[in-house]
A and B are shown apart, each in its own frame.
Chain A
C-alpha cells in the first residue's frame, strides 16, 4: 500500500510526561492515566518553532598512515533530545522545567487572595520522567506516530522573557538517559512507533 502523500508531515506534535516505568500507550489510543499532557492546551501552547527531535552523536575516525581517508569510525557519544517552547506559564507546566517542584495551593481567605506557589531552586537531584511524543503517522491518514522515551531529564535553561506583544514561553529541553531495563541495547533510548494499520 502506498504511503503517498502521508509520508510528508507538517504538523505539531504533543508531548506527554509520566513517571519513569509507566507503560507507553498504544499508538492508536489517547494517552491517559499517569500520562500528563504538556501544556494546558497541548500543541496549542507550543510556539511556532515547533518541536525539535535531535539525534546528535560524536564519531571518532581512525586514519592509517598509508591512506588519506578514514578507515574506521567509532561512535563514542550519542544523545536524544526533544525541545520546544511552551507558551504556558501555569505552575503545573512551569514545574516541569524546575525539576518537578511541588505546586502548592493556598485557598483564599477573608481579605487574603488565593494563590499557588512553586519553589524555584532545583537542587542536586535531577528528576526523571518518561516521555511520549505524539503526532500524525507518515503511513496513513488518521493514524498516529509516537516517540517513546523511557527516561528523560530536563536539561534546558529556560529564559522566560516578559515583553509586550510576545507570549512568554518556557524552554523545554528533554535529554534522554539510557534505560538499563530495556529489552535490548538499541532500545535503551526508547523507540519510534508509526502506525500503519488499524486494529482488527
Chain B
C-alpha cells in the first residue's frame, strides 16, 4: 500500500541540522499554511508530489516518483541558501525509516529555478527530485 512519503520527507528535512538552522520547523507539505502568510516572505520549505513519469511498475513494492521542493526566502539569495541546505540533506540521505516509511533515497532531477510567486511576489527556488521509497510499511 502506498505510504505517506511526503510526511516522511518533511520529517527528514526537519531533522537535518543545516535545514533547521535556516527554516526552524517551517517545512510543510503541499503548500504554505495560511497562518504563515503574515510572516512571509521568510525562509521555509514546501514539498509536494510532482507531476511526471513515475517508475518501477510491476508488483515490486517500491515507488519511484517525482517530488517538487519549494525553498522560500526573504530574497532570492536567501531562498537559494535554503535550497542548498535542502539539496545536501536530500542527496546525502541514506536508507532510513521516517514515520514508518522506508526511504531508500532521493535523486535530483531538475532545477534549481529562481522564481517569484505571481500573486505575492515572494521569492522561492524550485528544484525537482525523484524519491525511491517502500510501498510497504516499515515495521
Interface residues of A (CB under 8 A from B): 2, 4-6, 8-11, 44, 136, 141
B97 close to chain A: CB less than 8 A: yes
| Listed stretches B23-31, B46-54, B115-123, B129-137; interface member | B129-137
A10 to B131, CA, bound (A): 11
Residues of B participating in the A interface, judged by any CB pair closer than 8 Å: 60-62, 92, 94-97, 102, 104-105, 132, 134-139
List, sorted by A's number, 10 A–B pairs whose CB atoms are closer than 8 Å: A4-B139, A5-B102, A6-B102, A9-B95, A10-B95, A10-B104, A10-B132, A11-B95, A44-B92, A141-B138
Q: Is the CB of A136 within 8 A of B95?
A: yes
Q: A4-B136, A5-B136, A141-B138 are in contact. Are A11 and B105 (CB under 8 A)?
A: yes
In the complex, residue of chain A having the shortest beta-carbon distance to the beta carbon of B61:
A5
Q: Given the interface contacts A10-B62, A10-B105, A141-B102, does A5 sit within 8 Å of B95 by beta carbon? A: no
Closest Cβ–Cβ distance, residue A184 to chain B (whole Å): 33
Determine the chain A residues whose CB is within 8 A of the CB of B102 once the complex forms.
5-6, 141
Q: How far is the CB of B42 from chain A (nearest CB, A)?
A: 32
- Minimum CB–CB distance from B33 to chain A (whole Å) comes to 31
- How far is it, in angstroms, between the C-alpha of A177 and the C-alpha of B138 when the chains are bound? 39
Query: A10-B62, A10-B132 known; 11 other A-B pairs, CB under 8 Å?
Result: A4-B136, A4-B139, A5-B61, A5-B102, A5-B136, A6-B138, A8-B61, A8-B62, A11-B95, A11-B105, A136-B95
